[in-house]
Amino acid sequence: MAMPDLNLLVTLDVLLAEGSVAGAARRLRLSPSAMSRALARLRETTGDPLLVRAGRGLVPTPRAVELREQVSQLVQAGEAVLRPAARLNLKKLVRTFTLRTSEGFVETFGADLIAHVAQKAPGVRLHFVQKPDKNSTPLRDGLVDLETGVVGQTTSPELRAQALFRDRFVGVVRQGHPLCKGKITPQRYAAGGHIGVSRRGHEKGPIDEALLALGLTRNVATVVAGFATALALARASDLVASVPETHTGPLRSGLFSFALPLAMDEITVSLLWHPRLQADLAHRWLRGCVQEVCAARLAGGPTKHS
CATH code of 246's domain: 3.40.190.10
Pair 207, 120 in one domain:
no
CB count within 10 Å of CB 289 equals: 19
Q: Give the integer Cα–Cα distance in Å for 194 and 174.
A: 13
Pair 253, 176 in one domain:
yes
Please check whether residue 277 lies inside any domain of the structure. yes
3-state secondary structure of 271: strand
CATH number of the domain within which 20 lies: 1.10.10.10
Please check whether residue 241 lies inside any domain of the structure. yes
β-pairing, 169-173 vs 57-60, is unpaired
Pair 119, 241 in one domain:
no
Q: Please, which residues have CB within 8 angstroms of residue 190's CB and are 6 or more apart in sequence?
A: 211, 216, 217, 218
Supply the mean pLDDT for the chain.
Answer: 89
Which candidate, 189, 245, 199, 206, places its Cα nearest to that of 224? Answer: 199
- How many domains, in total, are found in the chain? 3
Please check whether residue 94 lies inside any domain of the structure. yes
Q: Give the integer Cα–Cα distance in Å for 186 and 103.
A: 27
Please check whether residue 303 lies inside any domain of the structure. no
pLDDT of residue 141: 84
Which uninterrupted H or E stretch holds 128? Answer: strand 124-130
Tell whether the model's pLDDT for residue 305 goes beyond 70. no
Strand partners, 171: 242, 258
pLDDT of residue 300: 63
pLDDT of residue 2: 64
Count of alpha carbons within 13 angstroms of residue 289, beta-carbon side? 25
Q: Sign of torsion, CA 9 10 11 14? A: positive
Mean pLDDT confidence for 138-143 = 88
Strand order in the sheet with 240-244: 219-224, 193-197, 240-244, 169-173, 256-259
Tell whether the model's pLDDT for residue 306 goes beyond 60. no
Which uninterrupted H or E stretch holds 189? Answer: helix 186-191
What tens digit of pLDDT does each residue of 269-281 get?
999 999 889 889 9
Which candidate, 154, 169, 199, 196, places its Cα nearest to that of 267? Answer: 169
pLDDT of residue 233: 97
Q: Give the integer Cα–Cα distance in Å for 243 and 239.
A: 13
Which candidate, 249, 205, 250, 241, places its Cα nearest to that of 221? Answer: 241
Q: Do you know the residue count of the chain?
A: 306
CB count within 10 Å of CB 183 equals: 6
Please check whether residue 305 lies inside any domain of the structure. no
Mean pLDDT confidence for 78-101 = 85
Q: What's 272's DSSP letter?
A: E
pLDDT of residue 297: 85
Report residue 90's pLDDT band, with 50, 70 and 90 as the boundaries.
Answer: very high
Pair 60, 47 in one domain:
yes
Q: What's 254's DSSP letter?
A: T
Which candidate, 104, 29, 28, 92, places its Cα nearest to that of 303? Answer: 104
Pair 195, 54 in one domain:
no
Whole domain around residue 32: which residue ranges? 7-82
Please check whether residue 188 lies inside any domain of the structure. yes
